């Protein structure tokens, strides 16, 4: 029985600013520096800037992982006409094989190809594909959660 996207309690998805900051979806602060090139030569001055910098770095790692998987396993790079259950199994198999390769290969040529493609395209993280989530709404509670998290992260960073 499909009940839609469910976020486990205490977990969240890092979302871009096209989404709202809502329960289970953590977005960057709007109107603050976000991309790494905007921090070039500048240290974050506020909890919001620090949070955005860390948010971007984490999303960048996640996007790079998806890029590596899609580069290695072409079946993941295009729409699938298999049943959802089969798609889940394909994704799991690709991830398991990818991890096995990473465990036993000291050098992964797929990573070199991915880095070269990024340099040639000049893209950092900008994805043109936008998907819309229509069943969530902004939450004051979630905004407070983000504010507390960003303040704690910033204070820990400054006190190091």
The domain locations on the chain are: 13-158
Above 50 in pLDDT, residue 132?
A: no
Residues in contact with 33: Cβ distance below 8 Å, sequence separation at least 6, in sequence order: 39, 42, 44, 49, 52, 53
Going by C-alpha positions, the residue among 62, 89, 94, 61 that lies closest to residue 77 is 94
* 8 A C-beta contact, residue 139 and residue 22: yes
Return the sign of the alpha-carbon dihedral for residues 147, 152, 153, 158: positive
State yes or no: pLDDT of 89 exceeds 90.
yes
Determine the pLDDT at residue 109: 76
Asked if the model's pLDDT at residue 117 lies above 90, the reply is no
pLDDT of residue 157 exceeding 50, the answer is yes
Q: Would you state the pLDDT for residue 133?
A: 40
Is residue 73 scored above 50 in pLDDT?
A: yes
Q: Is the pLDDT of residue 1 over 60?
A: no
Please enumerate in sequence order all residues whose Cβ is within 8 A of that of 95, keeping only pairs 6 or more positions apart, or say none: 69
């Amino acid at each position: 029985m499909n009940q839609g996207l469910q976020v486990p309690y205490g977990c969240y998805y890092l979302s871009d600013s096209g989404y709202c900051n809502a329960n289970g979806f953590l977005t960057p602060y709007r109107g603050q520096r976000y991309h790494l090139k905007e921090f070039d030569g500048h240290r974050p001055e506020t909890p919001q800037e620090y949070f955005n910098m860390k948010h971007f770095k984490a999303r960048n790692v996640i996007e790079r992982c998806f890029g590596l998987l899609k580069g290695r396993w072409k079946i993941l790079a295009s729409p699938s006409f298999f049943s959802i259950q089969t798609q889940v199994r394909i994704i799991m198999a690709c991830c398991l094989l990818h991890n096995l390769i990473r465990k036993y290969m000291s050098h992964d040529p797929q990573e070199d190809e991915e880095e070269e493609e990024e340099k040639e395209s000049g893209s950092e993280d900008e994805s043109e594909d936008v998907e819309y989530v229509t069943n969530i709404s902004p939450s004051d509670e979630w905004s407070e959660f983000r504010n507390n998290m960003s303040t704690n992260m910033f204070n820990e960073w400054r006190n190091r």
